Amino acid sequence: MADNTYTRFNDISISERILNTVFLLTIGLGYLAALANMYYTHQGLDGKAGLSVEDVVISYYGSTKQTRLGTAVTGIMKTNLKIKSDQDVILKWIHSGASETAYNDDIAPILNRDCVMCHTPSINPSLPNLTNYEGVSEVAKPGGVTIPTLVRVSHIHLFGIAFILFFIGRIFLLCEINVYVKRIAVVIPFAAMLLDVVSWFITKSIPEFAYVVILSGALMGISMGMQILLSIYQMWFFTALVHK
């Protein structure tokens, strides 16, 4: 081989091609299993079967429909409300963002009348403190994923997938295609993965970023899949098979 030529699928032995192929097929299968896993852990969070943007929003950002306060006033604590319509007042406050001004105007009077006789730290330290805004907003938050969980999942994700993409990329580099296309193509799955992980964190605060999570995740899958398929195709059907 001359100095200015690079290894291509033509140059590698059949044994290497077999090894590459079983590796790529296994990774492809693993990716399909990962997709199925993602489907089962996220689908139906919004109460509807199937995976939707809303499910992704609930996973990362949380849902104002599933706060502890909202669940309490529509469930076990409902009977403590002396005026039934106050339930709607509380739910509307939660859905509109649980601001402190609205708390002082509309919510504190209700809670002081119906709830604080039990929900005061000096009386029941184990119950949510409903005597001030800090305590109440604690149970009125949409929830969603916690930062420690996101940090844990993202470091596993980044380390694991970087290895996978690196080895897929190494094999893909043996393809016979335009060199500029190739240079860009090896970067795309990495960039998409990084964008995906960054947008998990952003979606925790800005629910609209769920779209970026989905699109970047899809881009990573598609670009990785194309590298795998093109590699397998060129390895066996495109290059003139030289038996080494």
> For binding to ligand HEC (CB under 6 A), which residues are involved?
68-69, 72-73, 77, 80-81, 114-115, 117-119, 127-128, 139
- Would you say 26 or 71 has its CB closer to ligand HEC? 71
Residue with tokens 């949510």: 128
- Would you say 43 or 120 has its CB closer to ligand HEC? 120
What is the rounded distance in angstroms from the CA atom of residue 45 to the CA atom of residue 128? 25
Shortest spacing between CB 148 and ligand HEC, in angstroms: 21
- Would you say 77 or 164 has its CB closer to ligand HEC? 77
Task: Report residue 220 CA to chain centroid gap.
Answer: 13
Shortest spacing between CB 81 and ligand HEC, in angstroms: 5
CB 74 within 8 A of CB 91: yes
Burial class (CB in 10 A: 0-12, 13-18, 19+), 162: middle
Shortest spacing between CB 60 and ligand HEC, in angstroms: 21
CB 204 within 8 A of CB 60: yes
Shortest spacing between CB 78 and ligand HEC, in angstroms: 8
- Would you say 7 or 71 has its CB closer to ligand HEC? 71
**CA distance from start to end of the chain:** 15
Please count the CA atoms within 13 angstroms of the CA of 43 that sit on its side-chain side. Answer: 9
- Would you say 51 or 140 has its CB closer to ligand HEC? 140
Burial class (CB in 10 A: 0-12, 13-18, 19+), 203: buried
Shortest spacing between CB 127 and ligand HEC, in angstroms: 5
